[in-house]
Amino acid sequence: MNFFRNLPFNILGKKSQNNLEIDPALKSQQPIVLNPSLPKTLAELEKEMEAQAQLHRIYPHPQGAKKQVPILRKIIWTVILLGIPVGAVWLANLPYSIIRRTISQNAPILLLPSYMSMDSHYRQAIAVVEQAEQLIEQPTSPSDLELGQEKVKQAQQHLDALPIGFLNDWSDYKYWWYDSRFSTYGFNSARTKVGQLEAKVFQEKNAQTLFTDSEQELSQAKQQYQQALTSTDKKAAIASWHSAIDKLQQIPSQTLAGKTAQNKLQSEKREFAEIVGLAAGNERISALITAAQQFSWQAAKAGQNPPHPVAEWQEIENLWQEAINRLRQVPSEDLAGYSQAQKLLATYQANLAAVRIRRQAQQDSVYTLDSAQRQIQSLLASTPTNPQIGDRNRTISQLQGIINQLKKVQPGTTVYLEAQQLLLSANNKLSQLEAK
């Protein structure tokens, strides 16, 4: 840089001289100085350029900043002016019946978002309820029930989004500029249907759980029967197997699980009969006959040493009836077991009839004795100390009625001995009165 500074000015300023139209042919003894100040060197020029660049970095666009201030103000005012009506509409559509009722009376058009939201939720609720009804009422698999349950939840959400207080005044919120598809009847029907579908899903879930448990018990019982080594183990496995089949029969047939169980039940019974065979049937018949004999033994034991009160005869009668009920469960297909059951059944029915007769006799005798005792008390209270002839005849007549009543008390009852004692006293008193 310093090297160029020492060069003559005419060399650096040659172009400038040509610009000033100075004839280059003229020879000058002294250099022509156009500016009394010294020319800037390259170093000074570089410093000035760096200073200007730094200034531009600090204040990049001073004129552009001045232009951005009005634009920013316009944006702020635009947001404010737009926010005021939007906020008013938002406030008018708050889910409070007081606000909406007031707005509907003065500026109903502000409630247009509420009308649109209600119609949207209502249409979606009706559509989803129809889908859920199809899936739940006519399911083809458990996945249909799962999807139907989800649809019911969606429908309930849409119905919950409808403001109840607003719906009560819905007839007052219809205007010529808005055509609503909302129906109060349809809304109530949808709510009722959603409740019914929820109950239906609950029943289907319970039936499906029962079906799953029955299948597991069937599988375990079959495996237990195959692995049984002793007769006791086989009996336990057969009992479990039979119990699982009974559970399949208990599943409601109107449910999807019930329909599946009914189809499975026939095959399970057939498999049970083929594998277990007649042995299981004989075991069951033997158990029924044994149970009937146990009840009959208890009944005979309770009936020993009569007479008994009415309550005890009733208990004996119930025991004989239980024995008869067990025998009636023996199927006629098993000839040997059915024949034995019929023989025992005839004996047990005869015993039951005898017990019923004894119970009725005891009941009648107790009632007759009570009636006779009341007549005796009445006679004693009404008989004077010095009876006249008319009083004596009336007393004889009453005594004769008491005697006839006491004779109705049947032997073999708990009150027979007491009735005989009263009868003897009444006869003696009657003989005394007739002898006078």
The rounded distance, in Å, linking the Cα atoms of 97 and 109 is: 16
Asked if residue 203 belongs to a domain, the reply is: no
Same domain, residue pair 302 and 323? yes
Range of the domain at 267: 209-276
Question: Is 244 within a domain?
Answer: yes
| Domain count within the chain | 5
Report the interhelical angle of 184-227 vs 142-160 (nearest 10°).
Answer: 150
Please check whether residue 70 lies inside any domain of the structure.
no
Same domain, 348 and 399: no
| Span 43-67, pLDDT tens digits | 777 777 777 767 656 555 554 444 4
* CA 270 to chain centroid: 35
**215/265 same-domain check:** yes
Top-confidence range, 153-167, 248-262, 341-355, 374-388: 341-355
Q: Is residue 90 in a domain?
A: no
16 pLDDT tier (thresholds 50, 70, 90): very low
Mean pLDDT to the nearest integer, 174-185 = 55
Domain boundary among 182, 217, 239: 182
Domain boundary among 316, 333, 364: 364
* 192, part of any domain: no
CATH number at residue 292: 1.20.58
Q: Are residues 109 and 175 in the same domain?
A: yes
Predicted local distance difference test score (pLDDT) of residue 6: 42
Lowest mean pLDDT among 183-187, 251-255, 425-429: 183-187
Do 121 and 162 sit in the same domain of this protein?
Answer: yes
Q: Is residue 110 scored above 70 in pLDDT?
A: no
Helix (H, G, I), strand (E, B) or coil at 178: strand
Residue 148 placed within a domain: yes
Q: Rounded to whole angstroms, how far apart are CA atoms 264 and 261? A: 5
| pLDDT at residue 194 is higher than 60 | yes
Across all residues in the chain, what is the average pLDDT? 76
Q: Would you say the pTM of this structure is higher than 0.75?
A: no
Q: Could you tell me the pLDDT band of residue 183, with boundaries at 50, 70 and 90?
A: low
106 and 173, same domain (yes or no): yes
In a domain, residue 68? The reply is no
Residues 237, 294 share a domain:
no
**For the residues of 364-427, what is the DSSP string, one character each?**
HHHHHHHHHHHHHHHHHHH--SS--HHHHHHHHHHHHHHHHHHTTSPTTSTTHHHHHHHHHHHH
* pLDDT surpasses 50 at 118: yes
Is residue 86, in this structure, part of any structural domain at all?
A: no
Question: End of a domain among 276, 301, 319?
Answer: 276
